Amino acid sequence: MTEITQVSLENEMDIVVAHKRMISVAQFFFLTLSTQATIATAIAEISRVVIDKTDSGWLSIGIEKANDKFSLIGRINFPPDIDIRPSEDGLKYAQLLVPEYSFDKSSEAATICVSIGIPRSLKITPAKVAEAAEFFRIIQPTTPYEKLKVRNLLLNQKAVEKDEELKNSRLLDEKKNEFISVASHELKTPLTSIMAFTKLALRASSTESSADVHHYLEKIDHQVYKLHVLILQLLDIAKIESGRLDYHMQELDWNTYMTGMMPILEHMVPSHRLSWLPCPEEIMVSIDILRIEQVLTNLISNAAKYSDPDTNIDINCSSDAGSLTICVRDQGIGISKHNITRIFDKYFREEAVTDKYSGFGMGLYISSGIVQEHKGTIWAEKNDEAGSSFYFTLPVCKL
């Protein structure tokens, strides 16, 4: 059915509104006076029954086409838990008035529908139906009650919009406060270590061996690197959201690229067994090598963080006619099903891991942005036995 207009059924005055609205629609399509009166009366009787039981009814008036014939439809919906039965006197009378009548009720919806066929001689077309829908969309209410009803509807819509804005504002404030709390903690940890080891190194420089000083400086260097990565991630997020993250694309063979990347990735996760299965043939892709390195290091470091030492992290690839798919599979704690699509959201972290594992929740968000800029897709799946698999695709260059 193509809906033309609708009326909410809240009180007895709406019976009059429903009757007039059906008359107006029937007049628009030049139906006879008797036809107008018949279907409008049926609608008024059904509306009366519904309004007696609930203020949550709704009338939809429209046109339906079946077997090259158009019909005028009046459909009244009401909550299924309302005790309205086909044996109601008003419904029985309406059923006698119109040639087509149905009463359908289930646990999810309840509908009473009446319809009258429109003679072919009136030459109804889809364009005419669209014209009617537009006419009744912009038509002004004719009675004070209808004007008040429209005004109240608009006020209710504005109230709902304001509530939604307030809810979103509160959510943003919560996210901001949560981020500030996590950021303060994550940035404070390496800074505290740097300060402590710097003091130890200064003290040791005059009294202890150079080996001890070297050890302290290594610790400082490691924490400085962590701080550097966190700051770069924050900058990358700002660039992604402003569209200013630069890319320098070049065509290369994926196997050749991964041959150079493996020593870097292995050095990054020395506590895990990292393996790579090359693609069976040469596959040319156009990538920014530093940005795709970012994606791989994010996925590999995540896999190592959430899995036990000395477990496997596997990198596999496959291809079809148009794209290369890379998979990073681990044997870690896995991802809950209801969060599997949220893990790429900015700053999102599962509640179950926030206390045990550090992090901002930025790496996967940044990786998602990079892959999308490469015209690829990224997603995650929970493994059947243990751990997770992260996939991303890259378009294959046409030879």
User: Would residue 351 count as lying in a domain?
Assistant: yes
What radius of gyration, in Å, describes the C-alpha atoms of the chain? Answer: 33
| Same domain membership, residue 254 and residue 236 | no
Calculate mean pLDDT across residues 45-51. Answer: 93
| Same domain membership, residue 387 and residue 259 | yes
**How many helical (H) and strand (E) elements, i.e. helices and strands, does the chain have?**
10, 12
Highest mean pLDDT among 77-81, 132-136, 213-217 belongs to 77-81
- The pLDDT of residue 140 is above 80: no
Q: 256-305: per-residue pLDDT in tens?
A: 999 999 998 998 899 999 999 999 889 999 999 989 999 999 999 989 98
| Same domain membership, residue 370 and residue 254 | yes
Q: Which of 242, 265, 287 is the last residue of a domain?
A: 242
Q: 147-159: per-residue pLDDT in tens?
A: 767 676 667 777 7
- The pLDDT of residue 47 is above 80: yes
Of 127-136, 138-147, 159-168, 205-214, give the lowest mean pLDDT range: 138-147
Report the DSSP beta bridge partners of residue 9: 57
User: Would residue 335 count as lying in a domain?
Assistant: yes
| Same domain membership, residue 291 and residue 379 | yes
Q: 307-343: per-residue pLDDT in tens?
A: 999 999 999 999 887 899 999 999 998 888 888 888 8
Calculate mean pLDDT across residues 31-53. Answer: 93
Which pLDDT value is given to residue 94? 93
Banded pLDDT at 235 (limits 50, 70, 90): confident
| Same domain membership, residue 23 and residue 102 | yes
User: Largest Cα–Cα distance in the chain?
Assistant: 110
Please, are residues 354 and 283 in contact by the beta-carbon 8 Å criterion?
no
User: Would residue 273 count as lying in a domain?
Assistant: yes
| Same domain membership, residue 388 and residue 279 | yes
Calculate mean pLDDT across residues 349-359. Answer: 67
What residues contact 66, with CB distance under 8 A and at least 6 apart?
none
Which pLDDT value is given to residue 222? 75
| Same domain membership, residue 171 and residue 257 | no
| Same domain membership, residue 117 and residue 19 | yes
Phi, psi of 292, rounded to the nearest 5 degrees: -70, -30
Q: What is the CATH number of the domain that holds 205?
A: 1.10.287.130
How open is the CA angle 18-24-62, to the nearest 5 degrees? 70
Which pLDDT value is given to residue 190? 73
User: Would residue 237 count as lying in a domain?
Assistant: yes
Q: Which of 93, 111, 139 is the last residue of a domain?
A: 139
| Same domain membership, residue 238 and residue 297 | no
Which pLDDT value is given to residue 335? 85
Q: Terminus-to-terminus CA distance in the chain, angstroms?
A: 50
Q: Which of 189, 224, 242 is the last residue of a domain?
A: 242
Calculate mean pLDDT across residues 21-35. Answer: 92
User: Number of folded domains in the chain?
Assistant: 3
Average pLDDT of the chain is: 85
User: Would residue 18 count as lying in a domain?
Assistant: yes
| Same domain membership, residue 383 and residue 258 | yes
Q: What is the CATH number of the domain that holds 292?
A: 3.30.565.10
User: Would residue 148 count as lying in a domain?
Assistant: no
* Cα–Cα distance measured from residue 5 to residue 122, given in angstroms and rounded to the nearest whole number: 21
Q: 80-93: per-residue pLDDT in tens?
A: 999 999 999 999 99
Domain, as residue range, for 327: 250-395
- The pLDDT of residue 189 is above 80: no
User: Would residue 149 count as lying in a domain?
Assistant: no
Which pLDDT value is given to residue 96? 92
Banded pLDDT at 205 (limits 50, 70, 90): confident
Please, are residues 59 and 84 in contact by the beta-carbon 8 Å criterion?
no
User: Would residue 128 count as lying in a domain?
Assistant: yes
| Same domain membership, residue 264 and residue 165 | no
pTM of the shown model: 0.51
| Same domain membership, residue 380 and residue 324 | yes
